[in-house]
């Protein structure tokens, strides 16, 4: 079975069994398929080693708790599963995708009673790292109104709002979007957005309007290491548009400078000094895994 964009027939994990992707099957009544009733997590792998695994598993635990799905594995079991999948992967720099749905039951909006067994799926995919041009010249973004739901802190598989936001970037021929809700910055379609003003890194508060990227904690650590002030607070659209620097971050795109927003240069239109310091510190963390 050929799947568009997927090379070969990689080994995946589904409900306790490892096997080829082409043979992995779930019921059409799985609530993840019917309702998007599930959560997911993506763990980046460098040199065969998970990057910030504890933080990713903690976020997975939070997402499960918020939608009342019982944790199907212990921390040690998750770590073992990730390592087993990486061992079967052709490349030791990759990403592990984990998805848990509520399970299979009659189609009914309410939770099934008694609870059914969650569906657990995991696979390894290639990690398309930022290009040299993106790192050295920056990326282009456009702004849109944030029209998603009010539980963005849950890493839910119900991603239609993010899909529509990302398509807005695709349609505009740029790399990403910056979303604003009620005049304030939230995030991108698939990333967090960081504002730099007067040498300080500023990001939106960790609340229900933003998915707390694992880089939230990482950037706070890196800023402390290299002596950059760091602050979480409400960030207005006006502040975002007048920023000295903008950055975007995610598990797969790491940290990238934003050179242009809505066709206008951000700051000098080139990667700024704060980005350069954070990029170097970020690269050192990755190199330490080798």
3-class secondary-structure state, position 52:
coil
Contact 99, 121 (CB under 8 A): yes
Q: What are the Cα distances from residue 37, in Å, to 31, 62, 69, 179?
A: 5, 15, 10, 24
Helix axes 75-88, 53-66, angle to 10 degrees: 120
Question: Which strands make up the sheet holding 119-126, listed edge to edge?
Answer: 17-20, 11-14, 119-126, 94-101, 38-46, 49-50
Cβ within 8 Å of residue 16, ≥6 positions away: 120
Nearest one of 235, 239, 189 to 213, comparing CA atoms = 189
25 catalytic per annotation: no
Could you tell me the two tokens for 216?
């939230």
Could you tell me the two tokens for 97?
């995708």
Could you tell me the two tokens for 43?
């763990």
Cβ within 8 Å of residue 32, ≥6 positions away: 26, 38, 99, 101, 102, 119, 157
Backbone angles phi, psi at 189, to 5 degrees: -75, -35
Sign of CA dihedral 56, 62, 68, 74: positive
Cβ neighbourhood burial of 113 (10 Å; 0-12, 13-18, 19+): exposed
Which residue among the candidates 155, 206, 264, 277 is catalytic per the annotation? 155
97, β-bridge pairs: 42, 123
User: Among all residues, which ones are annotated catalytic?
Assistant: 155
């Amino acid at each position: 079975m050929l799947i568009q964009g997927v090379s070969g027939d990689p080994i995946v994990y589904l409900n306790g069994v490892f096997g080829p992707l082409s043979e992995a099957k779930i019921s059409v009544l799985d609530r993840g398929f019917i309702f998007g009733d599930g959560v997911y997590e993506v763990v980046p792998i460098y040199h065969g080693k998970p990057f910030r695994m504890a933080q990713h598993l903690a976020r997975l635990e939070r997402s499960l708790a918020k939608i009342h799905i019982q944790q199907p594995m212990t921390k040690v079991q998750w770590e073992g599963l990730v390592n087993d999948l990486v061992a079967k992967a052709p490349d030791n720099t990759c990403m592990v995708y984990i998805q848990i749905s509520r399970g299979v039951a009659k189609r009914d909006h309410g939770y099934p009673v008694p609870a059914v067994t969650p569906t657990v799926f995991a696979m390894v995919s290639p990690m398309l790292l930022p290009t040299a041009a993106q790192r050295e010249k920056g990326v282009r973004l456009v702004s849109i109104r944030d029209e998603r739901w009010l539980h963005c802190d849950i890493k839910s598989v119900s991603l239609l709002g993010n899909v529509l936001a990302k398509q807005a970037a695709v349609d505009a021929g740029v790399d990403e979007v910056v979303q604003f809700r009620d005049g304030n910055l939230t995030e991108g379609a698939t990333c967090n957005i960081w504002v730099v003003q007067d040498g300080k890194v500023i990001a939106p508060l960790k609340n229900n309007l933003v998915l707390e990227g694992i880089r939230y904690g990482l950037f706070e650590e890196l800023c402390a290491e290299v002596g950059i002030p760091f602050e979480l607070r409400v960030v207005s659209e006006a502040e975002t548009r007048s920023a000295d620097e903008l950055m975007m971050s995610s598990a797969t795109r790491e940290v990238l400078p934003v050179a242009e927003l809505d066709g206008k240069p951000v700051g000098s239109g080139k990667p700024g000094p704060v980005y350069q310091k954070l990029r170097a510190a970020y690269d050192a963390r990755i190199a330490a895994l080798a």
